[in-house]
Amino acid sequence: TYAASGVVKGLVPSQWAIDESQGVIRVVTEVMIDEDDDENWWGSSEIPDDVQLAVLGQNGSHLETTGSVSAEISDEEVFAVRYVNEKAYIVTYDVVEYWDPLFVMDTSDATAPVLLGSLEMPGYSGYLQMIDGLASGSIN
């Protein structure tokens, strides 16, 4: 049955970017910017600028953003998202430089999620698999 709906900024890259945990909804989006592009005859194009993780809580029939955190991704796309406990692991891909940044975001405080860190890796990653023992939160 319908319970609530809400709006987040940006584009949800896949169904794996949405998660429910401990009464809140977590959504990873690509936030776009309009940028003049001399190569396109129509004048501008939208390119990803930030990856954002929004945490939404239910207020009656509305889902309202209780907190959010973002990281700059300039010209990258979100390729994989994995939620483990209070953490979100996000891989983006830069099609020009051929490298995969991995972002780790903590949502343990739904009103103030934080970017714990990032790692740049060469190559391509389209799937995140947690290894037993490491998924328990021992990676900070």
pTM (2 decimals)? 0.79
The pLDDT tens digits of the residues spanning 108-140 come to 999 999 999 998 877 666 666 777 665 555 444
Strands 62-72 and 5-6: parallel
Tokens of 22: 């401990």
Give the span between the Cα atoms of 28 and 32, in whole angstroms.
Answer: 13
Distance CA 41, CA 108 (A): 46
Q: For 45-70, how does the pLDDT look when each residue is reduced to its tens digit (9 = 90+)?
A: 566 688 999 999 999 999 999 999 99
Judge residue 91's burial from the number of C-beta atoms within 10 Å of its C-beta, 0-12 exposed, 13-18 middle, 19 or more buried.
buried
Would the pLDDT of 41 be above 70? no
